[in-house]
Amino acid sequence: MKLYKIADFIFGVHMDESLDIPENFKKFEISSSPEDIQTEYFIKIVDELPEPQGECITTRNDLQVFQNGNIESRRMNFVGIPEPYGVYEEKSERVIYSYFKRSFLSMLSADTVFVSLFAMEKRMFAHDAMVLHCSALQVNDGVILFSGPSGIGKSTHADLWVKHRGARVINGDRTLLQKLGDRWMSLGWPICGSSEICHNESFPVKAIVFLGQAPENGGMRCRYFDSVKQLISQLTINVWNLSVVEKIWSMAEDLAAQVPVFYYHCNMEKYAVDTLESLIHDVL
């Protein structure tokens, strides 16, 4: 068994050590006492997946969720391929079995596929943490988070800051947000999309910038309610769980009250950095 830590969640993973797992996930491995483990996962490679138990409470094009009392199970598939690749099955709060179909074994080392076996976002909610779709950029002693829909230019704009301001990308696709004391922090997350940039490092969040595309550069600080709506649109939320939805909304409200949120429409030239830097200068 190997131990891992994401935010303040410490968990053990039992699996065949010859299996190829994502390099980014390995960055969260720790040396700790087994007594510190909060949950144990057992990863099994099988020829046939077990049938999830309970009532199907939600269906997406890549996921089915089942509920049996307080126990949750999931059946996962790739978009466009109806045959499932894995089943996640809770035995209790502390013991979870995940089954992965042998015929898909070549995909196990993909970040999103491997992490799906842990239902990790559910564990993060229990630890008052949430995942934001964004590019996390270290500037001085904190991070700016560039967020918005896929394809809007988050990574491209972050690269401009790297080139022209010597900034550093911490994660090119997502970050884990958790309030520690009175500060919202950007924490490491083992999924980074096509950017392939993933560092297990923590920084205070200085600003969140929602990007839009335009020939001219300009922006403004968002009003509180607009900030909350923008955040909700890019947070990972288990919409089938009402208590989780309410909790995430409350956390987003606190985040919007504590961290300045901006809307910025821009092109992808150097001056886009200059204009945004002027807009958020007070928080850098």
| CA nearest to 26, candidates 15, 35, 36 | 15
CA–CA separation, 280 and 268 (whole Å):
18
CA–CA separation, 198 and 108 (whole Å):
18
CA–CA separation, 83 and 75 (whole Å):
10
How many residues are recorded in the chain?
A: 284
Taking CA atoms, 51 is separated from 14, 73, 92, 96, in Å, by 21, 9, 17, 15
Per DSSP bridges, beta strands 174-180 and 142-147 are: unpaired
**One-letter amino acid for residue 151 of the chain:** G
User: Does residue 126 sit in helix, strand or coil?
Assistant: helix
Residue 53 buriedness (CB in 10 A; 0-12 / 13-18 / 19+): middle
Which of the residues in the chain have pLDDT under 70?
none
Residues 134 and 213 in one domain: yes
8 CB contacts (<8 Å, ≥6 apart)?
Answer: 127, 178
Residues 108 and 176 in one domain: no
Residues 66 and 194 in one domain: no
Taking the CA atoms of 126, 128, 132 and 137 in sequence, report the sign of the dihedral they define: negative
Angle ∠(266,267,268) on CA atoms, nearest 5? 120
Residues 98 and 224 in one domain: no
Residues 102 and 155 in one domain: no
The domain in which residue 152 lies consists of 129-283
CA–CA separation, 28 and 17 (whole Å):
16
Question: Which one of 126, 142, 159 terminates a domain?
Answer: 126
Residues 84 and 205 in one domain: no
Residues 69 and 170 in one domain: no
**pLDDT tens for residues 234-273?**
999 999 999 999 999 999 999 999 999 999 999 999 999 9
Q: What integer pLDDT is reported at residue 59 of this predicted model?
A: 98
Residues 120 and 140 in one domain: no
**pLDDT tens for residues 76-109?**
999 999 999 999 999 999 999 999 999 999 999 9
Q: Count other Cβ atoms within 10 Å, centred on residue 198.
A: 26
Q: What integer pLDDT is reported at residue 34 of this predicted model?
A: 77
Taking CA atoms, 257 is separated from 141, 170, 185, 281, in Å, by 21, 24, 14, 19
Residue 183 belongs to domain with CATH number: 3.40.50
Give the helix/strand (H/E) hosting 242: helix 242-258
**One-letter amino acid for residue 249 of the chain:** W
Question: Which one of 94, 126, 158 terminates a domain?
Answer: 126
Q: CA-based Rg of the chain, rounded to a whole angstrom?
A: 20
Residues 67 and 208 in one domain: no
Task: Check if the beta carbon of residue 175 is closer than 8 Å to that of residue 189.
Answer: yes
| CA nearest to 66, candidates 115, 119, 30 | 119
Q: What integer pLDDT is reported at residue 32 of this predicted model?
A: 79
Q: What integer pLDDT is reported at residue 35 of this predicted model?
A: 81
274 CB contacts (<8 Å, ≥6 apart)?
Answer: none
Question: Which one of 100, 126, 152 terminates a domain?
Answer: 126
Structural domains in the chain (count): 2
Residues 100 and 189 in one domain: no
Residues 119 and 239 in one domain: no
Residues 224 and 236 in one domain: yes
